[in-house]
A and B are shown apart, each in its own frame.
Chain A
């Protein structure tokens, strides 16, 4: 291991401080014993207990989870299908237009997406609730899935599918038995991306949610407007922990896969 020069040490420290001090403060204060968020009055885990007794927060968390799972699953199916057609169907009439339109929601301001969905739901007389949030989240996260999956499909060797057809598969079997297992990592990361997007979306959810269906980000946002409570710090700490565990786990497992692959390839050469 090389020692870093003083300049590199300083830049590294500043960079990480900038990124992580806010979170660190939040975590520390979640263990604060007192009611006041900015004054330290001894270590305690009582706000975590309070949090788990707070029905409103738990309900919101449950709604958020349901919405995220359902909408990201639908978005993954639709996004993968769209990506497949865009990459595989060759040059059909209107292809450029369609592929442009799939990516448009990526750059569309969320406020506009939210507002237009709200207008649509009112126009067709759909009552706002879990269903409308799911629909809205599916709409905007589908294009992210499509981007992730199509970038994988572009490098996918088409002769693999032809080989499957040649060996007796129908078109759908070739997709199910060959294409899908091979692009699965991209589909899964597309799903995770859609899941996270749905989990922390505030703007679109606030346009499309109804009184009975508040998501966690909306709940936190409205609670903070009445003043930051230590419970929210506790909740945020839990979320940070979950995300950190997920990210570290994913990176470790991918490191292991790469190491294993390198070892396998070594064996093949011998």
Chain B
């Protein structure tokens, strides 16, 4: 399974960086309004073949609307959506080479597992023996051969999820849409299923577009993530880039845990920027690809696990913050320390618990130094 995780790594597969590649899906200035409410606001994006593309955002950000427009259940108010070069606006859902896996799975309760999977194939007037062969193939793919004759209410939630996946893949669509596919599963099952999904995406070579509000899920499965808010895409990037180099405070804050340190820029250039942020503390340096004029208000975003904590002032680090331990959260494999600076800001640092707890040196109310390198944080102006 870990092979699949490596295979989707961007180093080998990055059609979005190839100017020659033709996208499978193109949203061109698409706007969708429901009455006065703008669900999708002038959105432009390309999605490429064989991608596992995640739409990530809080509820009401427009991610589901985007997916339903691809499925043909909504029509955009303005703009064009192209799938495989074809304008799909006049094409009804039943004529699109797109299939969808619904959040509720939408399995037909009156049909058996095998009949559910065969449903779409029968509509295509496929010969009977071919349907049977294809259904067997799909049942093997999701490892449900034994359950072919059960009804949906006779199988467990995880099995239903796989039937829904098999049914939506049976017609070998160019594009598979997954609407919060793992939302109804418990955590352990969800993690296993994420890897299974990636495996299946690899084997079938289908383009997957997944809608989720679970950032961990998006990070695990996706080749690229689009972070959305209020009908706009805030950033599209690989999971690593989204996490390491968020383009805005919103993205930094939405994905994972982050310290946001506000200040004003004193120096910028050479891929870095320096901000002065509190009296009595030294200036902090972070990555900034564009030059920022001095004096601009900016935020340094730094992940807690990239912040070192020590009881003595480290000698060779670029960024050092002095403070006092306010809180310690023991999470088993690691601990999160909340440090209060003399000016009252709270900054989090995370350290792996490589030693037994009673041997650790840091405790409440202790004076500590936090430090991080000049490439650990990013300086953001929006």
Contact residues of A with B, CB < 8 Å? 157, 159-160, 162-170, 173, 177-178, 181-182, 261, 264-265, 267-269
Contacts and interface: CB of A to CB of B under 8 A. Distances in A.
Contacts of A269: 156
A166 B153 contact: no
B106 interface: yes
A212 to B, nearest CB: 45
Nearest to B152: A268
Contact of A160 (B73, B108, B167, B168): B108
B153 A168 contact: no
Given A173-B123, A268-B153, A166 B99 contact: yes
Nearest to B119: A167
A251 B103 CA distance: 35
Nearest to A160: B106
A165 B94 contact: yes
B102 interface: yes
Most buried by B among A168, A181, A267: A168
Interface residues of B, number: 30
Most buried by A among B108, B124, B155: B108
A144 B106 CA distance: 29
A182 B151 contact: no
Contacts of B71: 162, 166
Nearest to A261: B153
A166 B94 contact: yes
Contacts of B171: 167-168
Contacts of A170: 94
Nearest to B95: A168
A267 B99 contact: no
Interface in B185-244: none
Contacts of A178: 108
Contacts, number: 70
Given A159-B103, A165-B73, A166-B98, 5 more contacts: A164-B119, A165-B72, A178-B108, A264-B154, A268-B150
A164 B100 CA distance: 10
Nearest to A163: B106
A22 B155 CA distance: 51
Contact of B93 (A166, A181, A261): A166
Given A264-B153, A265-B154, A165 B108 contact: no
Nearest to A270: B156
B92 interface: yes
Interface residue SS majority, chain A: helix
B83 to A, nearest CB: 14
A157 B100 contact: no
A167 B153 contact: no
Contacts of A261: 153
User: Which 9 A-B residue pairs are closest in the complex by CB-CB distance?
Assistant: A168-B123, A167-B120, A163-B106, A159-B106, A165-B93, A159-B102, A264-B154, A181-B110, A168-B94
B296 interface: no
A87 B141 CA distance: 38
A168 B219 CA distance: 32
Nearest to A269: B156
Contacts of A160: 106, 108
B167 A167 contact: yes
A157 B120 contact: no
A169 B94 contact: yes
B342 interface: no
B120 A162 contact: no
Interface in B121-172: 123-124, 150-151, 153-156, 159, 167-168, 171
A166 to B, nearest CB: 5
Given A162-B93, A163-B100, A182 B156 contact: no
B94 A182 contact: no
B170 to A, nearest CB: 8
A159 B156 contact: no
Most buried by A among B106, B108, B120: B106
10 contacts: A162-B102, A165-B72, A165-B94, A166-B71, A166-B98, A169-B94, A169-B123, A182-B110, A264-B154, A268-B155
Nearest to B71: A166
A267 B154 contact: yes
B121 to A, nearest CB: 9
B115 to A, nearest CB: 11
Contacts of B168: 166
A38 to B, nearest CB: 55
A261 B153 CA distance: 8
Interface string B164-186: 00011001000000000000000
A162 B123 CA distance: 14
A268 B100 contact: no
B311 interface: no
A219 B167 CA distance: 58
B109 interface: yes
Contacts of B150: 268
A205 to B, nearest CB: 38
Given A165-B94, A166-B99, A168-B123, A264 B151 contact: yes
A46 B200 CA distance: 76
B104 interface: yes
Nearest to B120: A167
A265 B150 CA distance: 11
A106 B110 CA distance: 32
